[in-house]
Amino acid sequence: MKYSHSRHFSDKRGPVPPLKSRATSRHANLNFLKKYDSSTAGFTLVEILVVAAIIGFLSTSLILNFSRSRINIEQNANLVMATIREAQSKTVSSTIYNGYNPCGYGVHYISPTQLAIYVGPDAATADPSCATMDKRYNANRDSILITRTFIDSRVEMKNPFLDIFFLPPDPKTYLDNDASLNGSPISIQIGVAGEACSQNCRTISIDPSGKIEY
């Protein structure tokens, strides 16, 4: 029997490629897999950090825009309360104003979105005296210490309130020049501008005893 010395062998599946060709094919396949793996390996650390920074920036912008668009009644109510308490605190501590000891400090309504702390006259030269003078704001006698404006112009005080004045040293609280303890408290309602007061309104109450409730 004679055998063929051909480099190609055959069987039922067809001719078998030479060994060198098969090795070259395997090498090509491996190169392809390496390229495929490197191209689908995922994100690098730098890419992840960049994406995280972008997401953080967008989230912060959305939160800030939402906060600005939301009508914050609470924040403005806190401003009113803080202003009244500041006047009360300055009276208790006998804070000197412009080099003199004033008769006291008060809070005066200016507009639906503004109020002011005013300073009484010099206690040493007041005529009439601090105890007998009218404690309501007098532009010819008293000085404006600071004016506070609402943070959000879409919020307003629903009613002009009467002057609140604190006379040292206790301090004694005067509501519309009345210091009687059985007098009516002053209520300040704060809500959305141009709308009737609903359950969203905030009410600050100032009692003749000097207690401020919210």
Alpha-carbon separation of residue 16 from 2, 10, 25, 28 (angstroms): 20, 6, 13, 18
Task: Write the pLDDT tens digit of every residue in 80-100.
Answer: 999 999 999 999 999 999 999
pLDDT of residue 188: 96
pLDDT band of residue 70 (cuts 50, 70, 90) is low
pLDDT 10s digits, 22-48: 556 655 555 655 555 555 556 788 888
Strand 14-16 and strand 9-11: the pairing is antiparallel
| Cα separation, 140 vs 187, whole angstroms | 27
User: What fold does the segment set 73-213 form as a domain?
Assistant: minor pseudopilin epsh fold (3.55.40)
Q: For residue 67, how many other CB atoms are within 10 A of its CB? A: 9
Residue 40: the pLDDT is 55
pLDDT in tens, 110-165: 999 999 999 999 999 999 999 999 999 999 999 999 999 998 889 999 999 999 99
C-alpha 73: how far from chain center: 12
Mean pLDDT of the chain: 83
pLDDT value of position 53: 84
* 51 sits in which H/E element: helix 45-69
Looking at the predicted structure, is the pLDDT value of residue 69 above 50?
Answer: no
Q: CA-CA distance, 193 to 139, in Å (whole number)?
A: 28
Instruction: Please report which helix (H) or strand (E) contains residue 84, including its range.
Output: helix 73-92
Q: Which pLDDT score is estimated for 76?
A: 94
Domain with CATH 3.55.40.10 in the chain: 73-213
